[in-house]
Amino acid sequence: MLLPRQVRPKENGSGWTDPTIVFSPGDFTGDGYTDVITRATDGILWLYRGDGTGNFVGARKKIGDGWNTITKIT
């Protein structure tokens, strides 16, 4: 059963082989939509802004680097 504001999972693109971690912090940008953050093998954190329908808005945005030594992100 889906709770309010939950979206069913769906495939969104291909080529997601570089991220070592993929997670959602919720509404990271404050626009009311759930976002996704990934960590690449080189330690760069990338933000993918959600649009509320399971898709992403615009290009990914670099939000950090040096995270390749971190073992857990919560």
| Residue ranges of the chain whose pLDDT lies below 70 | 1-16
pTM of the model: 0.77
Query: Three-state DSSP class for 48?
Result: strand
Is 59:48 a contact under the CB 8 Å cutoff? no
Q: What is the pLDDT of residue 18?
A: 79
> By C-alpha distance, which of 43, 36, 4, 6 is closest to 22?
36
What token pair was written down for 45? 């954190």
Report the distance separating Cα 70 and Cα 26, nearest Å.
Answer: 20
Report the distance separating Cα 40 and Cα 72, nearest Å.
Answer: 14
- Residue 67 phi, psi (nearest 5): -90, 5
